[in-house]
Chains A and B, each alone.
Chain A
């Protein structure tokens, strides 16, 4: 009901019944309007993200898991260990409380796995029709414990490009769930927090120059961003990019290019050439990187470009999508 966002008794009831039990920690339990946190010694990373996915529950995840993993992954991509999150809920009047409990439980589960806490939050309820059931915003603070900078602008000529898994899993799984398209095998989102794998690379002193998780815009989108930010040329080999057979089949059927289909639990890492094989070995030894592959390399010029060597032997330029990816007619 709208009253659950009024700031009155119903709001308190919602917080006490749903959020406090799920996100149980002393900072949140203090019920202050802010979280007072110990200050780490090193640099901090700070990020924020919003989640509006439909449906809220999909094979392999849900909007809550997505929010925790997505924000934690944004921190991990600069090598930061996620420490604290905030969560802000916009709820549509009429959303079943049971759905909200499921989302909150899912968030708790992911936070426990990462060793992070949701230390601040907010809830608003909007009239029926004003939002699509549930919107969720999360912000996160992370701690940088390593020496060198990992950034979108850090890729260098000679770097090898590693991809930690299979392209397009999340986008295809959500699309199939949303559109009610059924395939013989169940498509599952790859939604996961990648910090445990990133931590391994950093602890083993792999020289990582840039990392990015290919969410919106897919692998092509992040490669283009890194090429531009780092003023380098990127060359990838289509044949080396791992794609699950069921995802490939779905893309073929729907007329989508897997290069642009999002992941939510994979990342690309630009690694110094002398560390590439070791990084690949470490990735493949970890459950989050079992399908990792070296997919390309960084060249000096032309700066800002991404070249793809097609499986058939030709080479083409890859650019950002002009807009929403629309399925082709035939």
Chain B
């Protein structure tokens, strides 16, 4: 398969890993921001191949994980209103709110549907004009344009029963918040390839300059990740702090202008709470007053109940790269994907869930059969 197979071929991946090991004069601390990259690193054992030369710190880039409990509670409350169909991406369904998840709300009779795109929800609204269809819009700059386009399309077609519950967030404010935290010891970042495909690289240029830290905007396949790390380690060894684009087959410096226009038309930034981290200024996207008719929060009450993340979960520290899942006494015991105690265990792209799903092993530990 073009653009897939060539990025999964073991030989160049191993060669690149050897090159990284050859040039690394110390163990560099590399943060991949995006949950999709975390998932790919662990699924493919990239971290094993770079043991000793690179330590991966897993950033806050899983949109499902960072969606605050208050939003989930609100989504469940809206789904319970008469005449409402709530549409959500699949991996939001299992995430526990303060009392239950959308999955258990559905089991209790709420009309909760899994969709693959906001346009599926829009189509549903068109087909059932007597019901309100609320799309639970979760995600970063990657999914925001499609969500904005759905609102634009709803207005164009006069589909007034389509609403968006916006829990969308932006990556750069979160990285700035991270770097402003003194304890966070990141040497360099793998930039989120899909986010940058939409947003471009200018925000990251500014962060690299302000905090004197290198970035390599990186794709998601194993070879992408290896190449991203190699280019980052080269910068680190040379003391450079530039933004390099490894993912040039998808990312342009200016990003995707049409996508950004749609976002800017429909969505406006606001301060937003991140689950496990707290409020990050200017990091949320909400429906602009101009499109209030499609804003579920406006339609169903603005207040978001404050919900406590109790129970001693260290997800916030993990999301900032200050701790690893294994550092948590509850990991794999009281806390698992079936019974997540906090943010990083609730979605398959959260660091804890990825560690749980893909426990790494040393092949040498296998007891070979002697025939």
Contacts and interface: CB of A to CB of B under 8 A. Distances in A.
Interface of A: 157-158, 179, 181, 233, 235, 239, 245, 248-249, 252, 254-255, 273, 297-302, 307, 309-317, 319, 322-324, 326-330
B209 interface: no
B42 to A, nearest CB: 7
A298 B47 CA distance: 26
A245 B63 CA distance: 29
Contact of A327 (B14, B44, B116, B358): B116
24 contacts: A233-B366, A299-B369, A300-B369, A307-B363, A309-B363, A311-B8, A311-B222, A312-B13, A312-B45, A313-B10, A314-B44, A314-B45, A315-B45, A315-B361, A316-B43, A316-B360, A317-B358, A317-B359, A322-B336, A326-B91, A327-B89, A327-B90, A328-B348, A328-B349
B63 A329 contact: yes
A273 B370 CA distance: 12
Interface stretch (B135-143, B228-236, B282-290): B135-143
Contact of B338 (A235, A302, A322): A322
Contacts, number: 128
- The 8 A-B residue pairs whose C-beta atoms are closest, nearest first, are A314-B45, A326-B90, A312-B222, A322-B337, A312-B44, A327-B90, A301-B367, A317-B359
A252 B45 contact: no
B311 interface: no
A326 B33 CA distance: 22
Contacts of B348: 255, 326, 328
B133 interface: no
A249 B361 contact: no
Interface string B73-105: 000000000000000011111100000000100
B294 interface: no
Contact of A245 (B1, B10, B90, B94): B1
Nearest to A159: B369
A313 B46 CA distance: 8
A73 B14 CA distance: 41
Nearest to B34: A330
A323 to B, nearest CB: 6
B8 A323 contact: no
Contact of B116 (A181, A311, A315, A319): A181
Contacts of B90: 255, 326-329
B269 to A, nearest CB: 20
B357 interface: yes
Contacts of B49: 312-314
Contacts of B347: 328-329
Contacts of A310: 43-45, 222
B363 A315 contact: yes
A277 to B, nearest CB: 15
A307 B362 CA distance: 10
Interface string B138-169: 11101100000000000000000000000000
Given A317-B358, A330-B36, A330-B63, 16 more contacts: A157-B369, A255-B90, A297-B369, A299-B366, A299-B367, A300-B367, A307-B363, A314-B49, A315-B361, A315-B363, A316-B43, A316-B358, A316-B360, A326-B91, A326-B114, A329-B139
